[in-house]
Amino acid sequence: MSFTSRCGVCLAFLFSWWGPARAANYEVAGLTGYKHGFELQAQGTVTEVFKNQPIGFALGIGYTFVDPGDALAARQIFVNDATDGTPEKDGHVVDLRADVIFFFKFFDLKQVGIFFGPRYSMFTGHFRYVGGNEDFLVTANDWGVGIGLRGMKALSPRLGLVGAIGVDWFPVSSLYGHDTTYFSNAPPINPKGTYTWSDASGAINSPRFTPSILLGLNWRT
C-alpha cells in the first residue's frame, strides 16, 4: 500500500471515529475549595461525545497553597542539625489531571457523574531560616490516580454551578531537598544521619492521599 493510500485510510478512520462526536458540548469551569490546602482549579470538559453514550472527558490544572511541613525537622533531615535562625516557610502544589466521566441521572441536576483518571503532582516547599544562613527547597513530582463525584446545577442555558468531591492517591513518591533524596520504595540518596523515608514523609506535607471538595462556575461554549 502506497503512502498516499495509507494516509487516506487513516483519515477515513479518523472521520468515522469522530463522526458521532460532532455534536459534542465543550465546557470550561473555574473551581475553588479545599484540596490539601486552598485550591484554584481550571477544567475543560467535553460531554455528549458519543451518541447515546453517557461519557465525557476532562482535563484540568490546579494550584494549591499548602503548608510545606515542619521547618525545623526539614532542615535536620535534608541539610544539617543546625537549629539557629528564625524559620519561615511557604509551599504550593501544581497538579495536572485527566478524567473519564460516566454520567447518570440524579433528580434535576445536570451532568452528575463519577470520574476517575491519572494525576501528576508537582510539590514545592520553600524553607528559609532568617539569621541562620539557610534557604532551600524540598520538591516532589509524583504520578497518582484519582476518583470522585461531580454534579452541575444549571443557572442559565450556558451557565451552571458545578461542584466536585474526590480523592487523589500517589502510591510512590520521592522527596528531594538540598543534596538528599528519600524514596518511598527505595533506599535514600545521601541521607542525613539515620533519617529515613518515614522521617522525611512525616516532616514534609507533600501530597500522598488528598481528599478534595470544590465549587465553582461552569460555562458551556
Q: Is the dihedral of CA 113, 118, 168, 28 positive or negative?
A: negative
Q: Which of 202, 207, 200, 205 is nearest to 180 (CA)?
A: 200
Per residue in 133-154, is it b (16+ CB within 10 Å) or e — as a string?
ebebebbbebebebebebbbee
pLDDT tens for residues 75-91? 999 998 777 889 999 99
**Dihedrals phi, psi of 138, to nearest 5 degrees:** -120, 130
At residue 176, what is the residue type? Y
Q: Which residues pair with 217 in a beta bridge?
A: 30, 161
Q: What pLDDT score was predicted for residue 7?
A: 47
Q: Please report, in tens digits, the pLDDT of each residue of the chain (221 residues total).
A: 554 454 444 444 434 444 444 568 899 999 999 998 999 999 999 988 777 788 999 999 999 999 999 999 999 999 987 778 899 999 999 999 999 999 988 776 767 999 999 999 999 999 999 988 889 999 999 999 999 999 998 899 899 999 999 999 999 999 999 999 999 999 999 999 899 999 999 999 999 999 999 999 999 98
Q: What pLDDT score was predicted for residue 5?
A: 52
pLDDT tens for residues 22-47? 568 899 999 999 998 999 999 999 98
Residue with cell 473555574: 30
- Judged on CB neighbours under 10 Å (0-12, 13-18, 19+), 42 is middle
Q: What pLDDT score was predicted for residue 1?
A: 54
What domains sit in the chain, N to C, each tagged with a CATH number? 23-220 (2.40.160.70)
Q: What pLDDT score was predicted for residue 133?
A: 83
Write the DSSP assignment of the chain as a string of letters.
--HHHHHHHHHHHHHHHHGGGTT-EEEEEEEEEEESSEEEEEEEEEE--BTTB-EEEEEEEEEEEE--B-HHHHHHHHT-S---SEEEEEEEEEEEEEEEEEEEEETTEEEEEEEEEEEEEEEEEEEEEETTTEEEEEEEEEEEEEEEEEEEEESSSSEEEEEEEEEEE--S-EEEETTEEEESSS--BS-STT--HHHHHHHB---SEEEEEEEEEEEE-
